[in-house]
Amino acid sequence: MIDWPLAELLPHAGDMILIDQVLAFDEEQIHTRLTVRAGGLFNREDGSLPAWVGVELMAQSVAAYAGCRARLLGDPVVLGFLLGTRKFECNVEHFPAGTELHIHALRSLEDDNGMGVFECHLTGPGIHATARLNVFRPPQADHYLAQPTSETRHV
């Protein structure tokens, strides 16, 4: 189990941090978990989470993987982007409140330009979801988010 606070591993804040804990990680993979709690940003009226939130849970697990690696190297945690997903499949429509979910993300590709591919699995009692996430961590993420100034705008 990793004791680092998630807020130090993820470039998210407050209620946007959906995973509860990093269980383990190494150079190739990460294992995380969460317990579905009612009252969150994405919960349905009955407290459950729609299955499509599974993609975000997988993406946050990948972000936590990058955060753990950065922390080990003494580097700052930087922003990354979920470019897309392929083959998201889930055998349920929602994750019931109180359910403990486990996410495993395995790096299958990462290049020097910041592009990466992760094979992800989300499991719980009677629940299985899989997806392949395409992610991008640009070398200078702040440039991607900066608003153009009047000096850089071209008309």
Token pair recorded at residue 15 = 């209620």
Number of domains the chain contains = 1
**The pLDDT of residue 10 is above 90:** no
Q: Is residue 138 part of a domain?
A: yes
Flag whether 151 is in a domain: no
Question: pTM, whole model, 2 decimals?
Answer: 0.88
Sheet with strand 115-124: strands edge to edge: 21-25, 29-35, 100-110, 115-124, 127-136, 81-90
Q: Indicate whether 135 pLDDT > 80.
A: yes
The bridge status of strand 115-124 relative to strand 127-136 is antiparallel
Q: Can you give the residue range of the structural domain that contains 60?
A: 6-145
Q: How far is Cα 30 from Cα 65, in angstroms, rounded to an integer?
A: 6
In a domain, 155, yes or no: no
Confidence (pLDDT) at 8: 85
Q: Which pLDDT score, from 0 to 100, does residue 111 have?
A: 82
Give me the CATH number covering residue 32.
3.10.129.10
Region 59-84: what's the mean pLDDT? 92
Q: Which range is most confident: 36-40, 127-131, 147-151?
A: 127-131
- pLDDT bin (cut points 50, 70, 90) of residue 126 is very high
pLDDT of residue 141: 61
Give residue-wise pLDDT tens across range 40-54: 999 999 999 999 999
**How would residue 25 be classed by pLDDT, with cut points 50, 70 and 90?**
very high
